Amino acid sequence: MEYNKKKRETRSAMGFKDLLYYLYGRRLLASVGKGPLPQHIGLILDGNRRYARAKNLPALIDGHKRGAEKLDEVLKWCEDLDIRTVTIWVFSTENQQRAPDEVDELMEVIEAKIDQMARNPLTRERRMRIRAVGQIANLPPRLQETIRKAEEATRKHDRFFLNIAVAYGGRQEIADAFKKLLAEKQRLNVPLETIAASISPEEISRHMYTYDVPDPDLIIRTSGEVRLSGFLLWQSAYSEFYFCDVNWPAFRKIDFLRAIRSYQQRDRRFGQ
CB proximity list for 37: less than 8 A, separation 6 or greater? 81, 82, 83, 260, 264
| Strand residues in 82-177 grouped as ranges (E) | 85-92, 128-133, 160-168
Q: State what percent of residues in the chain have pLDDT above 70.
A: 94
**pTM metric for this prediction:** 0.90
| pLDDT surpasses 80 at 12 | no
pLDDT band with cut points at 50, 70 and 90 for residue 18: confident
Q: Which of 194, 199, 148 is nearest to 177 (CA)?
A: 199
Distance CA 28, CA 196 (A): 50
Q: How far is CA 245 from CA 50, 224, 262, in A?
A: 12, 4, 15
Q: State what percent of residues in the chain have pLDDT above 90.
A: 82
pLDDT band with cut points at 50, 70 and 90 for residue 29: confident
What are the catalytic residues? 46, 95
Strands 40-44 and 218-221: parallel
pLDDT band with cut points at 50, 70 and 90 for residue 3: very low
Distance CA 211, CA 58 (A): 41
Q: In what order do the strands lie in the sheet with 160-168?
A: 128-133, 160-168, 85-92, 40-44, 218-221, 240-243
The residue-averaged pLDDT of 165-170 equals: 98
Q: How far is CA 205 from CA 133, 181, 215, 232, 236, in A?
A: 14, 10, 10, 12, 12
**176: how many CB neighbours lie within 10 A of its CB?**
16
**pLDDT digits over 123-142, tens only?**
999 999 999 999 999 999 99
**pLDDT digits over 62-84, tens only?**
999 999 999 999 999 999 999 99
Superfamily of domain 37-264, CATH level 4 = Decaprenyl diphosphate synthase-like (3.40.1180.10)
